[in-house]
Amino acid sequence: MNRLTKIKSIGTAVPKYKHQQNEILHFMSRIYAFNEKERRVLRYLYHQSGITSRYSVLNDYSHKPNEWTFYPPTENLEPFPSLEQRMKKFNQEAAALSVRAIRNCLQKPSDLAKITHLITVTCTGLSAPGLDLQLIELLDMPRNIFRTSVNFMGCYAAIHALKLADSICKADTAARVLIVCTELCTLHFQQEPTTDNITSSLLFGDGSAAVLVTGDEDRSTGFPLQGFYGEVMPKGKQDMSWELSSTGFTMTLSGYVPALIEEDFEKLVNRALTKHGISRDNITHWSVHPGGKKILEAIEKSLSLPKEKLDASYRILSDYGNMSSPTILFVLKEILCTLDKRKKQTVFGAAFGPGLTMETFLVGTGS
């Protein structure tokens, strides 16, 4: 019997602070100190975002200034938190959130002892020793576990991690690979009211997702990974970026990104399907990273998809915002829970990030 690399389970977790989008809008309006016309524009952008709520490790975004725990309660947030302060907060919070996602992923605590490989994914906090070693210590994982990290790849990084897990499982049929994607995007709020900063402030949230990938022969459990395909669009290289600054990580997210995706996504999908030898008719579900409402609308236009085909993506966007790398796993988890394993069903997944990079995957059920 041929072995198939499979997603066995996905677990998710979010921080304890849930902020309504209108509460975050109030915070941003206060900090940006806009005039009335500018505040109307900001309200419009927030109300059109497709986001209802987001989660953060910081309570500040929906609390009164005298209750803030991270930003100084001054009119302009000065002294503004430094990169060092943000990384300290990441190191305090990311591991515990990751542990919750892992426990949500694994069926029982004893499953931890069977993990052979650990892949940690993040683009919002970097240190050495880092998240991987924190998790090994917190979860008492084997000290000789194979570990690697995917860093600074942005929203498509979970798919890159799945590619690595697939290669590992094909090389070692006994492998049980645990991927953990954890992002604390809200640590990197920037006070200067540039277009990029405003866009980031209305989109991003915090979250974690863990996925267990194996290469065993048991076809009764899990969802087979059927292949990957990705491309880089150099013409969009300057339109999406993520860089370090003295006050945290800064995002460039050009308004041209949805147009670039709309123009090229159908061609990318066609090349991916040709590689895998299947047609659009074989795709029963679409798991698309909700980078923003306009990006989802661009996908619909590019593929001539009815909006309901992206319902899972819209729901995750509404409930959590864009959490960067874990987001596609939140969407995929929701879709996999609806699949009928007695039927042949195929999910086409896609996510986007700096480069401009577009990564895709296929996962499904049935023989």
Residues recognised as catalytic = 155
Contact 27, 64 (CB under 8 A): no
108, exposed or middle or buried, with CB in 10 Å at 0-12, 13-18, 19+?
A: exposed
Q: CA-CA distance, 367 to 364, in Å (whole number)? A: 9
122 residue type, one letter: T
Tell me the residue ranges of DSSP E strands in 36-175.
Answer: 53-56, 117-122, 146-151
Dihedral sign for Cα 118, 154, 185, 297, please.
Answer: negative
Contact 34, 70 (CB under 8 A): no
43, exposed or middle or buried, with CB in 10 Å at 0-12, 13-18, 19+?
A: middle
Contact 13, 342 (CB under 8 A): no
230 residue type, one letter: G
Q: 48 is written with which tokens?
A: 């059109």
Neighbours of 276 (CB within 10 A): 17
Strands 53-56 and 17-20: antiparallel
Q: Element (H or E) spanning 184, and its range?
A: strand 176-184
Q: Which residues contact 9 (CB under 8 A, 6 or more apart)?
A: 105, 106, 107, 211, 212, 222
Q: 28 is written with which tokens?
A: 């941003």
